[in-house]
Amino acid sequence: MGTTIGIGLLGLGTVGSGVAKILLSPQGRHPLVSEVHLARVAVRDLNRPRDVSIPTKLLTKDPKEVVDDPSVDVVVEVMGGIEPARTLIMRAIKAGKSVVTANKAVIARHGEEIATAANASGVYVLIEAAVGGGIPIIEPLKQSLGGNRIKRVSGIINGTTNYILSRMSKEGAKYKEVLNEAQDLGYAEADPAADVEGLDAADKIAILSGLAFGGSIDRTKIPTIGINNLQSIDVQYAKQLGYEVKLLATAEKLIQNNERLDSIPLALSVQPTLVPKDHPLAGVNGVNNAILVEGEPIGKVMFYGPGAGAGPTASAVVADILNIAGVNQLETSTTCLDPLLSANSWRNCHLVDRNVMIQRNYLRLNVVDSPGVIGRIGSLFGDRKVSIQSIVQFDASQEGAEIVVITHKVSLGQMNDSLEAIKHLKEVAGIASHLGCL
């Protein structure tokens, strides 16, 4: 074991145990796995029974001991949460150790600080497991798509909400019911806010955009709408109109020419979105994730697979460990980094205001069922230059009817102006839903 690379594991929960299992059973895997060994492991409780057997002398309750241990060459942070994860990552970097982390929350918020420190120390911070679970998406974005001008990255990048939406679509079930069952099954956490309010997806699209567009992203400025207020009736109407509702995270570069600008304008958002049934993202069900990348000259490529779970996430963590182990064999000078692995920012980006973003929209309006209502709504949109693709009336209840409108592409500013006016029509009792539409 002497000359192999020592791994210090911070956390031995589901992902940490998954990583340990791979490293402890190298047979049949890439031979480089044999050149890596578990050197030290930080756990919360030394005496908890585990399904992976690790020599007791490797265990410690103090994560700093793992980071500082001279036999640890690479620190693998799989404890989650902002602190102490951030401090431990920075401590490892300052000690000249490369870091592998699955921590999207830390990277989305402190990625720039961490990258700057890593480059100064000549170490790598690799984050394949932070987005898309087992799906290779970070490496391909960094290493395989560099020849492209990326135009758009969009995807289903939260497994919990996709599981809930898939069941709502299939069974016509209500959000609350499915959430409760998902919690019982362990697919959703006791406090599901980060998932169902879209915050986890926003962390991840911030990370993907930073890599795709080459500039750091202000995580706090991403307009984020979760599925926690989604009505099952909208999922059903969407289906009848030929769509599936997905929690879509999207990032789009708003200039397509290549003039030199001080900063590249980007539109980022997370919101429930109608996806046409023949679109590759529409068939992504259950806890699976998929990320669609569009660029010039590649066109569209999609990466699909399990978005969470111990095994897939551990696979991604080990991929990063192997990448560091591979480069390690090149006997490089310590300050030199492979620019594709190290992933610096190389231009400035800024997020545009939600009002200037352009999208198709799905609207459900509660109306009084009267002969002229569709005409009046249509004219009102027309007056405001909002082009309509379809207006359909559903006879939902005893008291009134429901009208579902799908618009062509329009800025959200124009859309909101129109909605303000529509609210004041006497036939309109209320705007029940407003979702995005691909």
Residue with smaller CB distance to its own copies, 264 or 374: 264
- Token reading at 131: 């987005």
- Quick check: 299 binds its own copies (CB under 8 A)? yes
- Quick check: 144 binds its own copies (CB under 8 A)? yes
Q: C-beta of 29: minimal distance to its own copies in Å?
A: 6
What DSSP line would sit under 338-379, residue for residue? -HHHH----S-EEEPPGGG-EEEEEEEEEE---TTHHHHHHH
- Quick check: 18 binds its own copies (CB under 8 A)? yes
| CB-based contacts of 45, cutoff 8 Å, min separation 6 | 61
* Residue 204 designated active-site: yes
- Quick check: 55 binds its own copies (CB under 8 A)? no
Q: C-beta of 125: minimal distance to its own copies in Å?
A: 16
- Token reading at 388: 């309509």
Residue with smaller CB distance to its own copies, 25 or 220: 25
Residue with smaller CB distance to its own copies, 346 or 372: 346
Q: Are 207 and 127 in contact (CB under 8 A)?
A: yes
Which residue among 97, 104, 142, 204 is the active-site one?
204
- Quick check: 258 binds its own copies (CB under 8 A)? yes
What is the Cα gyration radius of the chain? 24
As a whole number of angstroms, the distance between CA 338 and CA 142 comes to: 11
Give the chain's count of helices (H) and strands (E): 14, 17
- Token reading at 431: 């705007």
Q: C-beta of 308: minimal distance to its own copies in Å?
A: 11
Residue with smaller CB distance to its own copies, 341 or 412: 341
- Quick check: 336 binds its own copies (CB under 8 A)? yes
Restricted to residues 109-138, the positions that interact with its own copies (CB under 8 A) are 128, 134-136
Q: C-beta of 305: minimal distance to its own copies in Å?
A: 3
- Quick check: 322 binds its own copies (CB under 8 A)? yes
Among 309, 321, 349, 308, smallest CA distance to 125 is for 321
Q: Are 4 and 34 in contact (CB under 8 A)?
A: yes
Cα 334 to Cα 123, 328, 374, 384: the distances in Å are 8, 10, 69, 61
Which of 95, 298, 425, 431 forms a contact with its own copies (CB under 8 A)?
298
Residue with smaller CB distance to its own copies, 278 or 399: 278
Range in contact with its own copies (rule: CB under 8 A) among 172-180, 192-200, 236-244, 322-330: 322-330
Restricted to residues 345-404, the positions that interact with its own copies (CB under 8 A) are 346
What residues are paired with 358 via a beta bridge? Answer: 411
The DSSP symbol for 328 reads H
- Quick check: 263 binds its own copies (CB under 8 A)? no
Which of 316, 415, 422, 437 forms a contact with its own copies (CB under 8 A)?
316
Residue with smaller CB distance to its own copies, 315 or 361: 315
| CB-based contacts of 358, cutoff 8 Å, min separation 6 | 267, 409, 410, 411, 412
Q: C-beta of 53: minimal distance to its own copies in Å?
A: 17
Among 131, 100, 109, 103, smallest CA distance to 23 is for 100
Among 132, 97, 100, smallest CA distance to 117 is for 97
Q: Are 391 and 375 in contact (CB under 8 A)?
A: no
- Interface with its own copies: number of residues (CB under 8 A): 69
- Quick check: 314 binds its own copies (CB under 8 A)? yes
Which of 2, 3, 28, 399 forms a contact with its own copies (CB under 8 A)?
28
Restricted to residues 198-217, the positions that interact with its own copies (CB under 8 A) are 214
Residue with smaller CB distance to its own copies, 197 or 294: 294
Residue with smaller CB distance to its own copies, 317 or 422: 317
Among 22, 17, 23, 19, smallest CA distance to 5 is for 23
Alpha helices in 95-172 (DSSP H): 104-121, 138-139, 159-171
Q: C-beta of 87: minimal distance to its own copies in Å?
A: 28
- Quick check: 303 binds its own copies (CB under 8 A)? yes
| CB-based contacts of 426, cutoff 8 Å, min separation 6 | 368
As a whole number of angstroms, the distance between CA 252 and CA 268 comes to: 7
Which of 81, 96, 146, 382 forms a contact with its own copies (CB under 8 A)?
146
Q: Which residues bind its own copies (CB under 8 A)?
A: 18, 21-22, 25, 27-33, 128, 134-136, 139-140, 143-149, 214, 258, 260, 278, 280, 283, 295-306, 309-312, 314-319, 321-323, 326-327, 329-333, 336-341, 346
Which sequence positions are flagged as catalytic? 204
